[in-house]
Structure 1
Amino acid sequence: MLIFRQLFDQQSSTYTYLLADSVTGEAVLIDPVFEQVRRETALIEELGLRLLYTIDTHVHADHVTGAWMLKRHTGSQIAISAASGAEGADRYLSHGDRCEFGARHLQVRATPGHTNGCISLVLDDETLAFTGDCLLIRGTGRTDFQHGDARAMFRAVHQQIFTLPNTCLLYPAHDYRGLTVTSVGEERHFNPRLGGELCEDDFSVHMTNLRLPHPKQIDVAVPANLKCGLATRDPTQMAEPEWAPLTYTFAGIWEINPQWLEENLRAVQIVDVREPDEFDGALGRIPAARLISLGDLADRAAELTKERPIVTVCRAGGRSAQATVILRQAGFEAVANLAGGMLRWRAEGRVVENASG
């Protein structure tokens, strides 16, 4: 079975796509964003996948790719078009190549026009295709910089994308209106730039007169992406917290290992966010834990010190996860959640006070 996830970066309106073979766990990631590498890494780990490749559909001008950072963290290989001009990739893709993951593969189709190194990726059974910045939902990528060519784009769309089955779902690299997916049949009929009976000349004139401003990040993004995202900024952005061995979840929460916590109770502030009757109830409490119920935490955060890390705890780990968000909003950086809460703590036989159950 195919594992498929569509992920979104709000800052650049970029879609990133994760595809994996559920039997082998082998995966590929299309168009990763640098700032979202931690999120993507957490998802891959939670799903038990092994990332084989990151594939950029082109040299992006509006964000920096996460390809290099993902290679650094997961050992994945970097793939990009041979026509892109990018340095530092492990694999340079040409029209007709296949990127395999488990029993599945993506076929590479050259779709230049937005840039001269744009590619689209078609799933082996032609049910899904990833069109990068070539064909968007009821639109197309721009063609006025990075060796763009409106006529080349028109031909690429008609020859490489519109030749797919009408039912083939199309996933673009961007959408600025919250739209997520379209189909070949829809775009053939309804795309206002090149659908229906519009010809190449119509499209060329339309694209010439768009008069769009250059992307805000172009001066940073293009040079960085020509190096596959290498050393775009301080790599410590992805550094793990040093005060304890923590795990970052796809939900965006840092979690702490119960064993480490039990061995280091006095090195941290333990904030129990349950209600008073729970704090004194059957599950007991962790020694040295301080009761500040979740509803009171925002108002009482100033009672805590920023000199020592904070571990939040509740019955099952849900309220305490929200507590880490509240504390970070209050300016506390060294914060982690005890996943599974007191239920897990008791199930593992760890030390408690005041337990009656």
Structure 2
Amino acid sequence: MEEQDFFFGLEGPLEAVPAAGQMRAANLRGFSNYVRARGGAPRRILAQHGLDPMVLADPDAHISCQQVAAMFEYCSLLFDDPLFGLHLAATQDADIFGSVTAVCRAAPDLRAAIASLIRYLPVAHSPEAQLELVDDGGMAELRWVVGADLGFNDQANYQAMMLILLLLRTVSGQRFRAAWVQFSADPSPRELIEIEALLGTAVRPRAPGSAIGFSATLLDLPIATANRLTYRLVGGYLGRLRLFNHADMAERARSYVRGALPAGTCAIERCADRMGLSVRTLQSRLAAHDLHFSDLVEEQREQLARIYLRQTPMPIDEVAERLGYAEQTSFGRAFKRWTGQTPRQFRQG
């Protein structure tokens, strides 16, 4: 694509989307401090549940929803805290949802913010979150279910309820008022009193699914932080990710390579992990498209090289390094094989 052909764009997705059964590690923000304050060993607890303790430092890492749910239930028993998920969420904030929160804050009104949450949370945060808005003109309900079978997961449900309420209150400037919430958990009468105090609304336990009920008139609340540019830019990016999420395996791997090459983190093992697959499964699925992972790396190296040389002033040795070449001469030979020109000739052409 030539420079004059577009106004603004990215070279590719900044991150691969979470695979089925995965979520962003941002849900563990504050987990370490909270567990440590209770006398626990957060890194040991993570490792016991098959989670790499390094995810605590990387909110954009993708982790197993099932492992997180099991870990929260374990913590509930370990600390004798039947509301562990709710108490953890009370130390967190709406920014856990990352770019989804950003586009919701930039939306023109609460209806658009909720539509963005419904549309993009399954893409950017976890595909297991399936939400819908039901508006009968009087009362509205934001409902959600978890697509995967997580087993017993009351604590994860408590956390999700608090975080979604925090998001709605944050984007509305604290003007959002829930009439009630519902979830499947069956708390004791004493726990129910505390839950209602923490959530700030009436609670309907033992329900078939999770929901937040509120007056439909709140949907027209204008958002004080509305920003049309941010809304369109971030929403446009997430919209592209949404399309990408439905793309075939080859396109998903290709997009990973495009984003990982400049970061110096491109490896088939990392790609497979981001997509929730084993290396062998990824290789076999690429083979179904008559492709090897190395083919995708070569293809993306050429495309990125053309962009860097034609559209940026980046020195050629830095271009080579960005594309994973140890030496500029190796890059030069590869580029001439692709184009019949040296990098310098291409840039001057």
TM-score (norm 1): 0.27
Greater helix proportion: 2
- Between Structure 1 and Structure 2, whose CA radius of gyration is higher? 1
Structure showing greater relative contact order (alpha-carbon pairs closer than 8 Å, 6 or more residues apart):
2
Greater strand proportion: 1
TM-score (norm 2): 0.28
